[in-house]
Structure 1
């Protein structure tokens, strides 16, 4: 693949922003077709499907932010000058072709494409059938911007494949694929990992935990829990599991307070046997599988633990490795928790809702990686490159 200059890449992005604004009515009309066809049974997916003027503004802003960032390709990582005169330079380089498989969210179509393109990659977009009209309109804008600058439409491709066709494509791609990113729930991730013959970087599974220590500021804890659980239930950084220290003063009263606060937002509670003794009208967690589940709904588990070490053990066993938080006034205890919890983002006295490229200073993101190779956390522009060694000699041979 040819390396494009930063100037030509930024000109394409100028045109993408212009066209997103000019063709706004067309985008909203296409999205309305998708909304009309959706059954609304899955509230979280419906919320992700909606495109309005604010969402279009967000797409434009995402493109602008990426355009303003330095080109990630060709940056020098290291330089070595050997005693024998051999010079070795390690530089960043494009992956090549990235495939992203995602559900519902049309804004991902723009964000994924802008990140891949600025990093000089081609991208294959496999969106869900529920967003087909929205995605077609957005990819058409990309194609027009590419044509306006004399570039091939192949930099951004929309794949319209049914499930069986996707399975076949993953096993035997019709073109080389260097990285696949499944962005969605556990079933989607497992489907891709099972059928893919290419490297897969897992993204999207949340199942996030918060532990409230007995030294925590209780009012602050309630505020953080409500934000993490109810601010956006369709987000992978939303809260699912709440662990409370048994030593919390006036535990019974505080459990009732927590119950009332969550019920005001219509959150369904599932509780362990110890909490059931106090909140006796709540359903008990009967199946261990529930602890592994990402809800993406107004639902949360509440359980008691003896201390932060038991909380850490439980989180590391059941969580998706996405985001975990501790509420405590004990700085040393917070450090222990944050060092020992195996999550991509760990929080002290803050909501898990901040695990987001824009909030963390990364900017637009391709996904939130819960893998450890090659990157963990928000996949921004700088994470969409690999590296290459440039070795300069004068007839050097190894002896």
Structure 2
């Protein structure tokens, strides 16, 4: 008997590329959905070529966000390809795309076509800015959204230039928002019969949403947000500090913790100093108290401080490089990396799903990311009942690959 997962039996037609969409559908695949990734015959998903590094002919970027999928290479601009697209939509539970708004109308599949030809399908569209507003309908990119949302302005050194985050955080969160949209649509479909569900997420909204407490501070105070580098606008000490041999991240979240912290630094008098007694006082005098803390921490190695803080429940962390973090025992014990194998292909070590269900992350037998058009014939045969002759003809017409 096959193992049952949360989305077993759900078929997702994936017309996305780059990061937000593929990350979303990889999540859905990890939850058991069948993912059919439609790619254009002229190279497919752009990220296949986004290297180095490469593993074989595929970039590490592509391989990291496209496991548990089937790739079908289809030219939907041809008459035959367009018909195949429509037939696959009719056989799917979810259709997800990240084209500019108006794409479906442009190709001849407006809302009324969906309402007439399919029932209980969840449609999720990922766009740059959404439909409304002065920038509605424009394409969007993570880097630009970090700039426009204000994220870049609050990131970086206090007196430095605005700085983007080290990962495409807006794309990633948009992908997660798309997952929530799909799952919500599937649940709603059980309550509203014979009606299609249309969900929409966009990069701009995700960027604004990521402002979180910074946005709340600004809306309440009507004061523009400042840049605090590694610090926190509302908590002190909460920053990166230098020890004798490296950096240490320290987060003292309340006044009781601060009292303990000062004792560990052998400076208990700080806790009764009116400039530092309450968190609000420390926020006003952050430059002074942080300078004083740094002076004490520089006297010993970071491992000494880390272990001391750990024993006394003071939140702290040693700053690691990415390679160090990926090979750390905590990462390994949490099964946050996995190896994917495929015949005649080099083994792929990649990130695992962060979601654990019944002591398991993702599928028991996860599938290696597909090569371009790897599953075209299988999908046409098994889902649309095409025969070998029909497939051969489509290949000769450059409809499929």
| TM-score bucket of the superposed structures, by smaller chain | under 0.3
Normalising by structure 2, we get a TM-score of 0.28
Based on CA coordinates, which of the two structures has the bigger radius of gyration? Answer: 2
TM-score (norm: length of structure 1): 0.28
